[in-house]
């Protein structure tokens, strides 16, 4: 097996704050490229001091739009996350799987809800 | 034009009163707006953030905004939290260190917002909360700040302000923007042209719903904040256009305000005595997650 590529998030985005969608996109672009090449990827969150769902949705959740669950499970690992941040990532991943399984589902449920005329 | 500011607390009435000011002043352009506080008996300092939404709109329409007739106690607190510096009315030292000062951030200033929280949430009179509680609180504030940055569609900035109430063991932190609001974003995204403000907030609170475009998953932030607030026994308020939403240990409630608040405001009130453990000793590995 190829040696895994380690992406050090704090180095890549130049900050210990994983908070913005733009920075999440930087991470996504790198990871997506390597996964497309068939490489194994480790995303390292060492030195990251703040992590929110908005960032993870873009950086990792978005991968489920490009790769199968099986591909991601076998080729991607994360390290350097605390227990509660691992739980956060799990929520993001579960949400992404649901989203890409049926992205229109949530919208459709609201077709007839809450109409009220406001100026 | 004189605009009467009444007593303002972090309640539906308080937000509605601020929205009424905006509605009364809507037509002002290249004019004068005088905020008259003579009938304001109390002003909760964190409400400076939504009040500034009205002021930012007035200033954007090139109006001169002045503040008159503040009672001494109100003037003191608004000088301590530095709100009155935006009117060149001076600043007072916050001896008890119970304020997180009023500040205007550019939308891209997530790093500066982090510096602000570093400065004002540590080592002051602001409560010595557990590290785990502090982390969840800060994560929640970042979710709100970045959501405002993405969704407000406004260059007027993001207005923040906080106040610690030591006797009540409560810390309120308020983030506001003068943007298009939930209603406009959700209407655009869903195509529901007549969706109400309350329905739009409810839509956005549903896990997985997001108006963010670009075929990306999202819509977790507010859900996570609600879970945190539930455990903390705090309070979450969301105000956007006519919509008012409140979540606390008493449950959820939506109210349609009588007046149109010209933006969005989120207030989080946390119980600073909360000793719950937020540090999960998770056994999750990458294999479990993906």
User: A34-56, pLDDT tens digit by residue?
Assistant: 999 999 999 999 999 999 999 99
A24 in a structural domain: yes
pLDDT category of residue B234 using cuts at 50, 70 and 90: very high
A96 in a structural domain: yes
A118–B183: do the CB atoms touch at under 8 Å?
A: yes
A38 in a structural domain: yes
Q: Which of the residue ranges A99-108, B72-81, B132-141, B155-164 would you say has the lowest mean pLDDT?
A: A99-108
Are the beta carbons of B65 and B58 closer than 8 angstroms?
yes
- CA distance, residue B58 to nearest chain A CA (Å): 20
**If you count residue pairs, one on A and one on B, with CB atoms under 8 Å apart, how many are there?**
150
Q: Count other C-beta atoms under 10 Å from residue B259's C-beta.
A: 17
B217–A92: do the CB atoms touch at under 8 Å?
A: yes
Beta bridge partners of B160: B103, B175
3-state secondary structure of A8: strand
**Distance (Å, whole) CA B220 – CA B133:** 19
A99–B217: do the CB atoms touch at under 8 Å?
A: yes
Here the ipTM equals 0.85
**Distance (Å, whole) CA B70 – CA B163:** 19
A110–B190: do the CB atoms touch at under 8 Å?
A: yes
A16 in a structural domain: yes
Question: Which residue of A7, A68, A78, A114 to mutate against B (max B Cβ within 10 Å)?
Answer: A114
Mean pLDDT taken over chain B: 90
Mean pLDDT taken over chain A: 88
- Does the pLDDT at position A79 exceed 80? yes
B202–A114: do the CB atoms touch at under 8 Å?
A: yes
For residue A78, what pLDDT is reported?
Answer: 96
Say how many domains are in chain A: 1
A82 in a structural domain: yes
A58 in a structural domain: yes
- CA distance, residue A102 to nearest chain B CA (Å): 11
pLDDT category of residue A103 using cuts at 50, 70 and 90: low
- CA distance, residue B33 to nearest chain A CA (Å): 24
- CA distance, residue B80 to nearest chain A CA (Å): 29
pLDDT digits (tens, 9 = 90+) for B7-65: 999 999 999 999 999 999 999 999 999 999 999 999 999 999 999 999 999 999 999 99
Task: Confirm or reject contact between A112 and chain B (CB < 8 A).
Answer: no
- Does the pLDDT at position B193 exceed 50? yes
Closest Cα to residue B195, out of B138, B256, B237? B256
pLDDT digits (tens, 9 = 90+) for B136-179: 889 999 999 998 988 888 889 999 999 998 888 899 999 999 99
- Domains, chain B, with CATH or none: 2-278 (3.30.565.10)
Q: What is the mean pLDDT of residues A23-40?
A: 96
Percent of chain A with pLDDT over 90: 77
Task: Confirm or reject contact between A82 and chain B (CB < 8 A).
Answer: yes
**Window 32-61 of A, Cβ < 8 Å to B:** 50-54, 57-58, 61
A21–B150: do the CB atoms touch at under 8 Å?
A: yes
A115–B196: do the CB atoms touch at under 8 Å?
A: yes
Q: What is the mean pLDDT of residues B236-250?
A: 95
More reliable by pLDDT, B33 or B213:
B33
- Does the pLDDT at position A108 exceed 60? no
Residues of A in contact with B207 (CB under 8 A): 95
Residue with token string 């195509």:
B191
What contacts A68, CB < 8 A, 6 or more positions away?
none
**Distance (Å, whole) CA B276 – CA B192:** 41
Question: Buried (b) or exposed (e) across A86-118, using 16+ Cβ within 10 A?
Answer: bebbebbbbbbebbbeeeeebeeebeeebeeeb
A109 in a structural domain: no
- Does the pLDDT at position B129 exceed 80? no
Range of the domain at A37: 5-100
3-state secondary structure of A102: coil
Considering CB atoms only, which of A20, A90, A116 is closest to B110?
A: A20
**Distance (Å, whole) CA A112 – CA B65:** 43
For residue A109, what pLDDT is reported?
Answer: 52
More reliable by pLDDT, B260 or B127:
B260
Residues of A in contact with B192 (CB under 8 A): 110-111, 113-115
């Amino acid at each position: 097996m190829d040696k895994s590529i380690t992406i050090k998030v704090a180095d890549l985005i130049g900050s210990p704050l994983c908070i913005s969608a733009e920075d999440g996109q930087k991470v996504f672009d790198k990871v997506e490229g390597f996964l497309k090449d068939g490489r194994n990827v480790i995303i390292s969150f060492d030195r990251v001091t703040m992590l929110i769902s908005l960032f993870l949705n873009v950086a990792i959740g978005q991968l489920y739009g490009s790769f199968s669950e099986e591909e991601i499970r076998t080729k991607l690992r994360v390290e350097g996350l605390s227990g509660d941040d691992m739980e956060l990532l799990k929520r993001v991943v579960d949400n992404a799987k649901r989203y890409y399984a049926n992205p229109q589902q949530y919208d459709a449920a609201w077709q007839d809800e809450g109409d009220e005329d406001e100026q | 034009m004189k605009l009467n500011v009444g007593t303002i607390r972090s309640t539906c009435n308080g937000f509605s009163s601020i929205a009424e000011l905006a509605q009364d002043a809507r037509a002002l352009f290249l004019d004068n707006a005088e905020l008259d506080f003579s009938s304001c008996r109390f002003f909760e300092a964190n409400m400076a953030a939504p009040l500034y939404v009205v002021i930012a709109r007035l200033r954007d329409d090139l109006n001169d905004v002045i503040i008159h007739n503040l009672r001494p106690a109100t003037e003191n607190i608004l000088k301590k939290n530095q709100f009155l510096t935006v009117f060149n009315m001076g600043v007072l030292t916050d001896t008890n260190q119970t304020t997180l000062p009023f500040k205007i951030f550019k939308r891209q200033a997530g790093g500066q917002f982090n510096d602000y929280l570093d400065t004002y949430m540590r080592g002051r009179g602001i409560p010595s909360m557990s590290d785990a509680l502090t982390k969840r609180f800060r994560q929640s504030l970042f979710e709100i700040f970045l959501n405002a940055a993405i969704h407000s569609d406004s260059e007027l900035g993001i207005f923040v302000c906080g106040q610690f109430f030591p006797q009540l063991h409560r810390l309120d932190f308020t983030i506001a923007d003068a943007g298009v609001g939930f209603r406009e974003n959700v209407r655009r995204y869903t195509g529901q042209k007549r969706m109400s403000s309350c329905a739009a907030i409810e839509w956005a609170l549903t896990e997985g719903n997001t108006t963010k475009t670009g075929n990306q998953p999202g819509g977790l932030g507010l859900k996570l904040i609600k879970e945190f607030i539930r455990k903390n026994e705090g309070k979450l308020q969301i105000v956007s256009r006519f919509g008012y939403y409140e979540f606390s240990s008493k449950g959820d409630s939506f109210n349609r305000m009588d007046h149109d608040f010209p933006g969005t405001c989120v207030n989080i009130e946390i119980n600073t005595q909360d000793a719950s453990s937020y540090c999960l000793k998770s056994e999750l590995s990458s294999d479990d997650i993906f």
